[in-house]
Structure 1
Amino acid sequence: MQENSTVPGKTQEPEAAETDVEIPNKPSGDRAALLAGGVALAACGGLVLYGVLDSGESDRKPADRTPTAAVTYEVTGKGTADITYRARTSSGEAVVVKAATLPWHKTVDVPLGKEPAVSIVLGEKGGQARCSLAIRGEHAQSATATGTFGRATCAAPLPGQAASDTAEG
């Protein structure tokens, strides 16, 4: 006789046979959601970094730009001179050229509301040099420096600037 080991009150079920069932390599719904969330988070992070790091200068609105006028500075003479002139900066600050070889000229944009000016200082050897200033191609002023450490300054108001605000020479 065959012995059957059963517990009283319980029925014995036949053992399930082991079978090889292939499970597809598909990410589960939770994994797919996590992956999509990670991609979206990385994209948002990239956009935030772009906004923080982008200086925005190339696509600045025209309203942010200061209107300017073309100004030509010219210094004639022989030798060298220290030249100071106003050029295009947000504050219209002066630019200094030390021991510039003469003759010298430069055309720059000067912000409206800033008076264009060019100053020359001759060196220890002296000599003679003449500065001139033209606004949008029209002669505005000239002056001459002579002698040792001679000085001259040319300045003129820009169009739209009151003539009484500046002195002409």
Structure 2
Amino acid sequence: MEPESAGGSPDRRGVLIAGMALLACLGLLGYGILNTDEQPKPRAVPTAEVTYEVTGTGTVEVWYLARNEAGTATVEKAVTLPWTKSVQVPLGKAPTVAVVLDGKGGQASCTLAIRGKHVQRATAMGEFGRATCTGALPDDNG
């Protein structure tokens, strides 16, 4: 039998420490796999369908609000008319479409429909003419 030192064999200590580290890692891995508490998902923002339409002559820049919780506008440049877009807009945001004619002028009308109902129409004319249509979104019931 080999004599054992007071602190135990250096080989045994290394194996013991490695085993404890392995058990700790397996414990953390098991906790991650077995911890099935799902984090609450952010609530979906209710939306309404909005149809924007721009008709007329000339080339225009169109700005419109679509599904974006931040409420920032989407811009389409050098649009040839006619142009139509149906999008989802978050309730609480005012659906808006704006049209700006280029330097060649022309005439353009924007229209706005919420859930299929016409809300507003506006017309832009001449060089860099502008028109904006906006509306209010009904609640989920209306």
Mapping of 1:1-169 within 5 angstroms?
34-35=18-19, 38=22, 41=25, 44=28, 61=41, 63=43, 65-160=44-139
Q: Structure 1: which 5+ residue stretches go unaligned? A: 1-27, 49-55, 161-169
The corresponding residue for 1:12 is none
* TM-score normalised by the chain length of structure 1: 0.61
Number of residue-to-residue matches in the alignment? 122
1:73 offset after TM fit, Å? 0.7
Shift in alpha-carbon separation, 1:109–1:146, aligned structure 2, 3 A: same
Structure 1 letter corresponding to 2:67? R
1:78 offset after TM fit, Å? 2.6
Shift in alpha-carbon separation, 1:104–1:31, aligned structure 2, 3 A: same
Structure 1 letter corresponding to 2:58? G
- Rounded to whole Å, the distance in 1 between the matches of 2:78 and 2:31 is 49
The structure with the larger Rg is 1
Runs of 4+ residues deviating >6 angstroms: none
Higher-RCO chain (CA-CA 8 Å, sequence separation at least 6): 2
1:117 offset after TM fit, Å? 0.6
Shift in alpha-carbon separation, 1:47–1:142, aligned structure 2, 3 A: farther
Of all paired residues, the percent bearing the same amino acid is 52
